[in-house]
Protein backbone atom coordinates (compact mmCIF):
# COMPACT_ATOMS: atom_id res chain seq x y z
CA UNK A 1 0.00 0.00 0.00
CA UNK A 2 1.37 3.37 -1.00
CA UNK A 3 2.04 5.89 1.75
CA UNK A 4 -0.60 8.53 1.02
CA UNK A 5 1.10 11.00 3.35
CA UNK A 6 4.04 11.19 0.95
CA UNK A 7 1.75 11.43 -2.04
CA UNK A 8 -0.26 14.16 -0.33
CA UNK A 9 2.92 16.15 0.19
CA UNK A 10 3.66 15.86 -3.51
CA UNK A 11 0.15 16.95 -4.42
CA UNK A 12 0.26 19.89 -2.03
CA UNK A 13 3.54 20.92 -3.62
CA UNK A 14 1.85 20.76 -7.00
CA UNK A 15 -1.18 22.75 -5.92
CA UNK A 16 0.19 25.29 -3.46
CA UNK A 17 3.94 25.49 -3.99
CA UNK A 18 3.49 25.35 -7.74
CA UNK A 19 5.28 22.08 -8.31
CA UNK A 20 6.66 22.93 -11.76
CA UNK A 21 4.99 19.82 -12.22
CA UNK A 22 2.54 19.92 -14.98
CA UNK A 23 -0.55 18.06 -14.03
CA UNK A 24 -1.56 15.45 -16.56
CA UNK A 25 -4.73 13.39 -16.53
CA UNK A 26 -5.50 10.33 -18.49
CA UNK A 27 -7.71 7.31 -18.26
CA UNK A 28 -6.19 3.85 -18.10
CA UNK A 29 -7.63 0.59 -19.35
CA UNK A 30 -9.89 0.41 -16.31
CA UNK A 31 -11.04 3.99 -16.84
CA UNK A 32 -9.21 4.89 -13.62
CA UNK A 33 -7.87 8.41 -13.59
CA UNK A 34 -4.34 8.97 -12.42
CA UNK A 35 -2.36 12.12 -11.80
CA UNK A 36 1.23 12.51 -12.97
CA UNK A 37 3.64 15.14 -11.64
CA UNK A 38 7.33 15.68 -12.17
CA UNK A 39 9.57 13.57 -9.96
CA UNK A 40 10.28 15.76 -6.87
CA UNK A 41 13.91 14.82 -6.15
CA UNK A 42 16.84 17.12 -5.49
CA UNK A 43 20.40 15.78 -5.83
CA UNK A 44 19.07 12.78 -7.80
CA UNK A 45 20.86 9.49 -8.43
CA UNK A 46 19.71 6.59 -10.61
CA UNK A 47 20.80 2.97 -10.35
CA UNK A 48 19.89 0.28 -12.89
CA UNK A 49 19.58 -3.10 -11.20
CA UNK A 50 18.01 -6.25 -12.66
CA UNK A 51 16.12 -4.37 -15.36
CA UNK A 52 14.60 -1.80 -12.96
CA UNK A 53 15.68 1.80 -12.47
CA UNK A 54 15.86 3.10 -8.90
CA UNK A 55 15.90 6.86 -8.27
CA UNK A 56 17.06 8.21 -4.92
CA UNK A 57 17.39 11.83 -3.88
CA UNK A 58 16.86 14.64 -1.43
CA UNK A 59 13.15 14.72 -0.63
CA UNK A 60 12.06 13.87 2.92
CA UNK A 61 12.91 15.19 6.38
CA UNK A 62 12.61 11.63 7.64
CA UNK A 63 15.14 9.93 5.40
CA UNK A 64 15.76 8.96 1.78
CA UNK A 65 12.94 8.27 -0.67
CA UNK A 66 13.10 5.89 -3.62
CA UNK A 67 11.05 5.74 -6.81
CA UNK A 68 11.20 2.99 -9.45
CA UNK A 69 10.73 2.84 -13.21
CA UNK A 70 11.02 0.48 -16.15
CA UNK A 71 11.55 3.13 -18.81
CA UNK A 72 13.03 6.28 -17.13
CA UNK A 73 9.94 8.28 -18.14
CA UNK A 74 7.28 6.89 -15.79
CA UNK A 75 8.08 6.50 -12.11
CA UNK A 76 6.15 5.23 -9.11
CA UNK A 77 6.40 4.65 -5.37
CA UNK A 78 7.26 0.95 -4.86
CA UNK A 79 4.22 -1.03 -3.73
CA UNK A 80 6.50 -3.04 -1.43
CA UNK A 81 7.50 0.09 0.46
CA UNK A 82 4.56 1.53 2.43
CA UNK A 83 6.64 4.37 3.87
CA UNK A 84 8.12 5.37 0.53
CA UNK A 85 11.50 5.58 2.27
CA UNK A 86 14.43 3.29 1.49
CA UNK A 87 16.22 4.77 4.50
CA UNK A 88 14.55 6.05 7.67
CA UNK A 89 16.28 8.31 10.16
CA UNK A 90 15.51 5.89 13.01
CA UNK A 91 17.90 3.38 11.43
CA UNK A 92 20.90 5.63 10.93
CA UNK A 93 22.91 8.48 12.40
CA UNK A 94 21.42 11.97 12.16
CA UNK A 95 18.08 13.66 12.71
CA UNK A 96 17.76 16.02 9.73
CA UNK A 97 19.05 17.09 6.32
CA UNK A 98 19.15 13.75 4.53
CA UNK A 99 20.78 14.74 1.28
CA UNK A 100 22.37 13.51 -1.93
CA UNK A 101 22.18 9.70 -1.69
CA UNK A 102 23.98 7.34 -4.04
CA UNK A 103 23.44 3.56 -4.03
CA UNK A 104 25.82 0.87 -5.33
CA UNK A 105 25.56 -2.92 -5.37
CA UNK A 106 28.81 -4.68 -4.48
CA UNK A 107 28.92 -8.47 -4.02
CA UNK A 108 25.21 -8.66 -3.22
CA UNK A 109 25.22 -5.80 -0.71
CA UNK A 110 23.76 -2.37 -1.44
CA UNK A 111 25.70 0.59 -0.08
CA UNK A 112 23.98 3.97 0.29
CA UNK A 113 26.29 6.96 0.67
CA UNK A 114 24.43 10.04 1.86
CA UNK A 115 24.69 13.18 3.98
CA UNK A 116 22.87 13.62 7.30
CA UNK A 117 23.08 16.78 9.36
CA UNK A 118 26.04 17.83 7.15
CA UNK A 119 28.06 14.68 7.85
CA UNK A 120 28.88 11.96 5.32
CA UNK A 121 27.44 8.54 6.14
CA UNK A 122 27.04 5.07 4.62
CA UNK A 123 24.30 2.53 5.27
CA UNK A 124 23.76 -0.96 3.87
CA UNK A 125 20.93 -3.25 2.83
CA UNK A 126 20.40 -6.54 1.03
CA UNK A 127 17.71 -4.91 -1.12
CA UNK A 128 17.77 -1.73 -3.26
CA UNK A 129 14.48 -0.74 -1.60
CA UNK A 130 16.05 -1.01 1.84
CA UNK A 131 15.71 -0.76 4.68
CA UNK A 132 19.20 0.78 4.72
CA UNK A 133 20.69 0.69 8.20
CA UNK A 134 23.90 1.41 10.08
CA UNK A 135 25.16 -1.13 12.59
CA UNK A 136 27.24 1.56 14.26
CA UNK A 137 25.30 4.79 13.97
CA UNK A 138 28.23 7.09 13.28
CA UNK A 139 29.25 9.30 10.35
CA UNK A 140 32.32 8.46 8.31
CA UNK A 141 34.14 11.54 9.63
CA UNK A 142 32.90 12.17 13.15
CA UNK A 143 34.58 15.46 13.99
CA UNK A 144 34.03 17.36 10.76
CA UNK A 145 31.05 18.42 8.68
CA UNK A 146 31.18 17.18 5.08
CA UNK A 147 28.57 16.45 2.38
CA UNK A 148 28.04 14.91 -1.07
CA UNK A 149 29.92 11.61 -0.85
CA UNK A 150 30.29 9.60 -4.07
CA UNK A 151 31.84 6.13 -4.49
CA UNK A 152 34.19 5.30 -7.35
CA UNK A 153 36.28 2.22 -8.23
CA UNK A 154 39.40 2.95 -10.27
CA UNK A 155 40.76 0.73 -13.05
CA UNK A 156 42.60 -1.40 -10.51
CA UNK A 157 39.43 -1.89 -8.47
CA UNK A 158 40.53 0.35 -5.61
CA UNK A 159 37.60 2.17 -3.91
CA UNK A 160 37.65 5.95 -3.52
CA UNK A 161 35.19 8.31 -1.91
CA UNK A 162 34.75 11.85 -3.22
CA UNK A 163 33.12 14.35 -0.86
CA UNK A 164 32.84 18.04 -0.03
CA UNK A 165 34.70 19.77 2.76
CA UNK A 166 33.94 23.30 3.98
CA UNK A 167 37.52 24.55 4.40
CA UNK A 168 37.49 26.84 1.34
CA UNK A 169 33.83 27.38 0.71
CA UNK A 170 32.57 24.05 -0.67
CA UNK A 171 35.46 22.16 -2.24
CA UNK A 172 35.91 18.56 -3.36
CA UNK A 173 38.26 16.07 -1.71
CA UNK A 174 38.96 12.36 -2.14
CA UNK A 175 40.00 9.56 0.21
CA UNK A 176 40.66 5.87 -0.25
CA UNK A 177 38.18 3.51 1.40
CA UNK A 178 38.87 0.45 3.49
CA UNK A 179 37.95 -2.88 1.88
CA UNK A 180 34.66 -2.94 3.82
CA UNK A 181 33.61 0.26 1.93
CA UNK A 182 32.37 1.68 5.25
CA UNK A 183 35.42 3.59 6.45
CA UNK A 184 37.83 6.04 4.89
CA UNK A 185 41.59 6.00 5.32
CA UNK A 186 42.15 9.47 6.84
CA UNK A 187 45.81 9.57 5.85
CA UNK A 188 44.80 9.35 2.15
CA UNK A 189 42.58 12.46 2.16
CA UNK A 190 43.56 14.81 -0.63
CA UNK A 191 42.05 17.97 -2.20
CA UNK A 192 40.76 17.72 -5.78
CA UNK A 193 39.16 20.97 -6.97
CA UNK A 194 37.98 24.31 -5.60
CA UNK A 195 36.44 27.45 -7.12
CA UNK A 196 38.86 28.60 -9.80
CA UNK A 197 36.90 29.59 -12.93
CA UNK A 198 34.98 32.80 -13.57
CA UNK A 199 31.63 31.08 -14.23
CA UNK A 200 31.81 29.55 -10.74
CA UNK A 201 31.96 32.87 -8.94
CA UNK A 202 28.31 33.95 -9.09
CA UNK A 203 27.69 33.12 -5.40
CA UNK A 204 29.15 31.83 -3.14
CA UNK A 205 32.36 29.68 -3.25
CA UNK A 206 30.97 26.30 -4.28
CA UNK A 207 32.37 23.22 -6.01
CA UNK A 208 30.27 20.21 -5.00
CA UNK A 209 28.38 17.12 -6.16
CA UNK A 210 31.34 15.26 -7.67
CA UNK A 211 30.79 12.20 -9.84
CA UNK A 212 33.66 10.36 -11.55
CA UNK A 213 33.71 8.11 -14.63
CA UNK A 214 36.54 6.58 -16.62
CA UNK A 215 36.95 7.26 -20.35
CA UNK A 216 39.87 6.05 -22.44
CA UNK A 217 42.98 6.73 -20.36
CA UNK A 218 41.53 9.50 -18.21
CA UNK A 219 39.20 10.01 -15.28
CA UNK A 220 36.40 12.56 -15.74
CA UNK A 221 34.89 14.35 -12.76
CA UNK A 222 31.61 16.19 -13.22
CA UNK A 223 30.82 18.73 -10.51
CA UNK A 224 28.43 21.56 -9.72
CA UNK A 225 29.30 25.18 -9.03
CA UNK A 226 27.58 28.25 -7.55
CA UNK A 227 24.97 27.96 -4.82
CA UNK A 228 22.15 25.50 -5.46
CA UNK A 229 19.89 28.50 -4.76
CA UNK A 230 21.30 30.38 -7.75
CA UNK A 231 19.70 30.21 -11.17
CA UNK A 232 23.30 29.94 -12.41
CA UNK A 233 23.92 26.66 -10.61
CA UNK A 234 25.56 24.52 -13.29
CA UNK A 235 27.78 21.57 -14.13
CA UNK A 236 31.38 21.49 -15.28
CA UNK A 237 33.99 18.77 -15.56
CA UNK A 238 37.67 18.17 -14.89
CA UNK A 239 40.06 15.42 -15.97
CA UNK A 240 42.94 13.56 -14.38
CA UNK A 241 45.23 10.62 -15.07
CA UNK A 242 44.77 9.50 -11.46
CA UNK A 243 41.71 9.29 -9.19
CA UNK A 244 43.57 11.53 -6.74
CA UNK A 245 44.52 14.20 -9.28
CA UNK A 246 45.86 16.62 -10.19
CA UNK A 247 42.56 17.57 -11.79
CA UNK A 248 42.43 19.94 -14.77
CA UNK A 249 39.15 21.75 -15.39
CA UNK A 250 37.76 21.99 -18.91
CA UNK A 251 38.51 25.47 -20.19
CA UNK A 252 35.03 25.91 -21.71
CA UNK A 253 32.96 25.00 -18.63
CA UNK A 254 30.07 24.89 -17.85
CA UNK A 255 28.74 22.00 -19.92
CA UNK A 256 25.25 22.22 -18.41
CA UNK A 257 23.67 25.49 -17.27
CA UNK A 258 20.20 26.90 -17.95
CA UNK A 259 19.26 24.33 -20.63
CA UNK A 260 16.05 25.28 -22.37
CA UNK A 261 13.72 26.87 -19.83
CA UNK A 262 15.34 25.24 -16.78
CA UNK A 263 17.31 27.14 -14.13
CA UNK A 264 19.27 26.09 -11.06
CA UNK A 265 20.49 22.98 -12.85
CA UNK A 266 22.99 20.75 -11.13
CA UNK A 267 24.08 18.13 -8.62
CA UNK A 268 24.30 15.52 -11.34
CA UNK A 269 25.22 11.84 -11.47
CA UNK A 270 25.74 9.50 -14.40
CA UNK A 271 24.55 5.98 -15.21
CA UNK A 272 24.18 3.60 -18.15
CA UNK A 273 20.66 2.90 -19.37
CA UNK A 274 19.34 -0.45 -20.61
CA UNK A 275 20.63 0.26 -24.11
CA UNK A 276 24.13 0.92 -22.80
CA UNK A 277 23.96 4.69 -23.33
CA UNK A 278 25.60 6.99 -20.81
CA UNK A 279 23.00 9.25 -19.21
CA UNK A 280 23.11 12.13 -16.74
CA UNK A 281 20.50 12.82 -14.07
CA UNK A 282 20.22 16.25 -12.44
CA UNK A 283 17.77 18.53 -10.69
CA UNK A 284 16.43 21.97 -11.57
CA UNK A 285 14.49 24.67 -9.75
CA UNK A 286 10.72 24.64 -9.74
CA UNK A 287 10.68 27.65 -12.05
CA UNK A 288 12.21 31.09 -12.55
CA UNK A 289 10.63 32.44 -9.36
CA UNK A 290 10.95 29.54 -6.89
CA UNK A 291 13.61 27.01 -5.99
CA UNK A 292 11.46 24.34 -4.36
CA UNK A 293 10.33 21.76 -5.02
CA UNK A 294 13.26 20.81 -7.20
CA UNK A 295 12.56 18.17 -9.84
CA UNK A 296 14.54 15.44 -11.57
CA UNK A 297 15.57 15.51 -15.24
CA UNK A 298 17.57 13.09 -17.39
CA UNK A 299 19.90 13.93 -20.26
CA UNK A 300 22.41 12.19 -22.50
CA UNK A 301 26.20 12.28 -22.27
CA UNK A 302 28.85 11.63 -24.90
CA UNK A 303 32.54 12.26 -25.38
CA UNK A 304 33.65 14.23 -28.43
CA UNK A 305 37.24 14.29 -29.57
CA UNK A 306 39.29 17.43 -30.02
CA UNK A 307 42.36 17.40 -32.25
CA UNK A 308 45.53 16.89 -30.18
CA UNK A 309 43.55 17.26 -26.97
CA UNK A 310 41.49 15.26 -24.49
CA UNK A 311 37.93 14.26 -25.34
CA UNK A 312 35.24 16.68 -24.20
CA UNK A 313 32.30 15.53 -22.08
CA UNK A 314 29.14 16.85 -23.74
CA UNK A 315 25.58 16.91 -22.42
CA UNK A 316 22.89 16.69 -25.10
CA UNK A 317 20.55 19.60 -25.80
CA UNK A 318 17.45 17.52 -25.15
CA UNK A 319 16.45 16.13 -21.78
CA UNK A 320 13.79 13.81 -20.48
CA UNK A 321 11.17 15.06 -18.02
CA UNK A 322 10.27 12.03 -15.85
CA UNK A 323 6.81 11.89 -14.27
CA UNK A 324 5.58 10.29 -11.06
CA UNK A 325 2.30 8.41 -11.41
CA UNK A 326 0.03 8.80 -8.41
CA UNK A 327 -2.82 6.31 -8.30
Active site residues: 43, 208
Output the furthest CA–CA distance in the chain (Å, rounded).
Answer: 61
Query: Contact, 235 vs 257, CB < 8 A?
Result: yes
Under DSSP, is residue 198 helix (H, G, I), strand (E, B) or coil?
A: helix
C-alpha distances in Å from residue 249, one per residue of 124, 246, 326: 34, 10, 42
228-232, Cβ contacts within 8 angstroms, sequence gap of 24 or more: 228/42, 228/264, 228/266, 228/267, 228/291, 229/264, 229/291, 230/202, 230/203, 230/264, 231/258, 231/263, 231/264, 231/285, 231/288, 232/199, 232/202, 232/257, 232/258
Nearest to 123 by CA among 37, 56, 24, 222: 56
Amino acid sequence: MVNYRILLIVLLNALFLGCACEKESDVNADNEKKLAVRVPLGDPFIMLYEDTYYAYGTFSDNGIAVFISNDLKNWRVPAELPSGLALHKNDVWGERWFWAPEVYEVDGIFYMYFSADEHICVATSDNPLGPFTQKDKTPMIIDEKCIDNSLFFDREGKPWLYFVRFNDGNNIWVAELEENLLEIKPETMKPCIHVSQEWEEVWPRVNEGAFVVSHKNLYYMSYSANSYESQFYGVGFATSESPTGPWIKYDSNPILQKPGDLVGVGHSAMFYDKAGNLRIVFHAHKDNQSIHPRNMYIGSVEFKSRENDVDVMVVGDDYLTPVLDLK
